[in-house]
């Protein structure tokens, strides 16, 4: 009897499956096809991304080699290509390097503009690095308001870049002729045990340099005094 019931159950299941297949078979086939297409598309996209990253890496390395050998104009053009076409990570690094090449070639304003753009677009590590580099570019003579604006997010007491920002401000005060303020700022950093050791040593040396006169003009060295010539000894004629 159990075999008969089992056969009946199997027939019922087979009949239900056939009904479901007739009603939904096309949809099932279409769904499976979509899954296969999606997997194939994902794999193709991964390969495309890998190729793009490889091309970006090769172009970035070539651009860096141009910069290292002093071909700044060509390096800037190559970095511009990477910044425009490469994946996000390479693009950000290329923009930083592009600004660095411009800065090295004396195009400070153009470099600072790129640094500001990076800082505006990125709230993470890359943006902070761009702010620091822009700060150093502005410190020797850039507008103080621009310097304060670009470094403002880094001056928070919890920012790991706060010491770098303080050093840049001290350097800017030194270049603006505010020697006393710069000396105090450098000395404060030198005495701050929370600051990196290398920075403390550097700022301590700078504070001592300014305390001892810095770049004050002490006049010119007087020419050496030439002693008067000894009188000539008269020659006695031989008899």
In angstroms, the CA 137 to CA 67 distance is 18
pLDDT tens digits, 162-207: 999 999 999 999 999 999 999 999 999 999 999 999 999 999 999 9
- Please report which confidence band the pLDDT of residue 213 belongs to, taking 50, 70 and 90 as the band edges: confident
Q: What is the DSSP string of 70-136?
A: T-HHHHHHHHHHHHHHS-HHHHHHHHHHHHHHHHHTT-HHHHHHHHHHHHHH--SHHHHHHHHHHHH
| Residue whose C-alpha is closest to residue 8's, from 16, 231, 127 | 16
Sequence length of the chain is 239
For the segment 30-77, what is each residue's pLDDT rounded down to a tens digit?
777 667 666 666 566 566 556 666 666 666 666 667 666 777 777 777
**pLDDT higher at 87 or 112:** 112
What pLDDT shows up at residue 13? Answer: 66
- Give the helix, strand, coil percentages of the chain, each rounded to 5: 75, 0, 25
Q: Between the CA of residue 234 and those of 229, 237, 238, 239, what are the distances in Å?
A: 15, 9, 13, 15
Per-residue model confidence (pLDDT) at position 205: 94
The answer on pLDDT for 228 being more than 80 is: no
Does pTM top 0.75 for this prediction? no
């Amino acid at each position: 009897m159990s075999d008969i019931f089992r056969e009946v159950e199997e027939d019922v299941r087979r009949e239900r499956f056939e009904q479901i297949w007739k009603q939904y078979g096309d949809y099932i086939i279409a769904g499976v096809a979509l899954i296969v297409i999606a997997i194939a598309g994902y794999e193709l996209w991964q390969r495309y991304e890998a190729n793009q990253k490889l091309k970006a890496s090769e172009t970035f390395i070539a651009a860096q080699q141009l910069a290292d050998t002093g071909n700044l104009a060509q390096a800037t053009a190559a970095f511009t290509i990477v910044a425009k076409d490469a994946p996000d990570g390479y693009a950000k690094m290329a923009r930083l390097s592009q600004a660095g090449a411009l800065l090295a070639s004396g195009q400070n304003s153009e470099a600072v503009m790129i640094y500001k753009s990076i800082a505006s677009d990125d709230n993470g590590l890359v943006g902070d690095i761009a702010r620091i580099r822009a700060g150093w570019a502005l410190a020797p003579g850039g507008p103080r308001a621009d310097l304060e604006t670009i470094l403002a997010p880094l001056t928070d007491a919890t920012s790991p870049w706060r010491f770098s920002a303080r050093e840049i401000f001290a350097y800017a005060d030194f270049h603006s002729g505010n020697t006393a303020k710069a000396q105090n700022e450098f000395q404060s950093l030198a005495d701050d045990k929370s600051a990196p050791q290398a920075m403390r040593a550097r700022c301590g040396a700078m504070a001592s340099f300014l305390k001892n006169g810095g770049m004050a003009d002490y006049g010119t060295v007087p020419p050496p005094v030439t002693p008067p010539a000894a009188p000539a000894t008269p020659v006695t004629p031989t008899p």
